A and B are shown apart, each in its own frame.
Chain A
Amino acid sequence: MLGRRLLLLFVVAFALGGCEREQRSTGFRVALLSPGPISDAGWNAAAYEGLLAVRDQLGVEVSQVETRTPPEFEEAFRDYARRGFQLVIGHGFEFQDAAAKVAPDFPRTVFLTTSGSTVRPNVAPLVFRLEDATFVLGYLAARLQPDGKACAVGGMDIPSVRGTFVAFEAGAKHARPDYPVTVSYIGGWDDLGAARAATLALIDRGCRYVFQNADAAGPGVFQAARERGIYAFGSNRVQHEVAPTAVLASAVIDIPHAFVAVARDVKDGRFQARPIEETMADGTIAVVYNPALAAVVPADVRHDVDALAAAVRARTVAVPYAAL
């Protein structure tokens, strides 16, 4: 894994080439630790786009590295902090322990984790309440086929992923209290084949709408859905481009917007370590439909779903949030 990290770091350095010389004057540098390949067209890709937005909108230098294990998280945090990066983002719930451990040694660096609850003088979680959007998607599934069944496929059972499934189920039950939702985990984020096998097994048991939150393995879910002619929901990023005939809608996070806001605060010295929560009410979380499949959702259902989304934004309906 070390080899892969170095190699990717090298490549990213190439991809971002030029900015180092031009923008050294500002001296502000931001790094991203992604738990998987940024080519996953989902969770990690969205974070990379957020990092590039920080680079372009704030004119600062950025760097990204792929880290897989807690020792790697810690090592990468330390490495960037030692090199003087002012903001280092660990992309996921799993980064908070490493951040808390490293932070006291580097008081001049802000460590941000994109989920979690750990707060230190220079550690803060940026929590994306994707639950708002998956709640709406669950409701949509149950309204589209009231006598149907929905399911969800996850990578690993971590609170930030499980939370999206709990809200998905709650949304379905908001439409019909006994609507069945089954959840399957594949135990990792890369195994496309496992994701496909898990989804086929769920479809065999009657699942007609499948939500995926499995990062790079996600396309395996879409493939199974397409094969069996059912609809799927994407997560974290607009995913109907990955499977245009299968992905009906996606629960989307506007990570670029959130990253730029935090990076600007850190850069201007206004940053206060506290849990930051991004919700549908803020506009950072949204449900994005696949325009090519718009005809699948009848007008009355679409109307009710939009009304529910408005209620979620107005907080007049309670969406269950994961305890992080």
Chain B
Amino acid sequence: MGRPLTITEKIIQNHAGNETIAPGDIVNARVDIALGNDITAPIAIKEFEAIGTSHVFDRKKIALVPDHFVPNKDILSAKQAKMLREFAKKFDIENYFECGEAGVEHALLPEKGIVLPGDLVVGADSHTCTYGALGAFATGVGSTDLAYAFAFGELWLKVPESIKVIFEGKPKKWVSGKDLVLYLIGQIGVEGANYMALEFAGSTFKHLGMSDRFTISNMAIEAGAKSGIFEPDEITEDYVKNRAKRDYTFYKSDEGAEYAKVLKFDAESINPQVAFPHLPENSIDINEASAKNIKIDQSVIGSCTNGRIEDLRIAAGVLRGKKIAKYSRLIVIPATPDIYRMAEKEGLIDIFMDAGAVVSTPTCGPCLGGYMGILADGERAISSTNRNFKGRMGDVTSEVYLANPAVCAASAILGKIAGPDEVS
């Protein structure tokens, strides 16, 4: 027996084939899924061509998801999407998703069972860390990295140290994974976990579902982390068992595994959070945020962070029978076609439209200031997305406030930042 390992070290060791590994080691790790989107894959495809190889490492282990500017917003983005399509055709890429099947990549791949527990996933998108929710090691890389992975099916990785983050207790009503992760980032800062793996644990997660775990892992990058992982359990098993089309492995951290830090939080004392411009670490309690009487022009509910069916159900619960404030906009974006269909069958789309919302087809769209909801100068948005950097959703003088879907829905109704209890 070697030294006790964290779940992250175990997955990397297994994929690197090294007998022992330690934080700081640089290894070549085998990749189970290599992912690119319509912004990052075009550069990867060019670099792949520059390598001069005639084939990809495995047509079944590459995922190409046009989601950022799709359906194409303009000619230039259409050209980028075309590059993905042609590459997919040329190499018969199994997991290529044409507009209509495509959704926001980090909601789509877990939903389709393409990423699974125990996998090592690299994606040319910083929110690739989302799949940590499944007990996979998943990390964001660049386009050149992706080109290399396309060619060789492996990639250099530095073994990260881990920070263990424990949440204990049953969360209050309206408190979701989004609030816990915004609270955490508020505590440790946007650089608090730079280069490190976050490992989430504690009794709180028995009270929350997979969608909350996805939201938490998704925002690990907003603390600078390389990854954000959960040990898989029966909740994970329930989620993956009917989606997986191949074997998967549940890894667990060993007793006595070493952590750079162990942080413990009492989830029962945490209220819904709102992160103020222009960093995700500027999170404060909803009561405090509401008291500031901040008028908003737009509310966005969607994205890889909070565009899942559970998020839409929560938002619809707040909006049912209500209208959004005059001169304000509400944009709802189901993250995948399946989520869209479910929302329609459950009557959620009607609730949103009756309230005055516009419901978009799946896309990253406004989250990154791409299209479908860009802000004018001086405008303010509250958004269930993941970043509130300066100019993130539009003009450099616009502002983005991050919150959970219930808070975004309540704020749309009142035209100001508000908690869901203020409208019920």
Partners in one complex: no
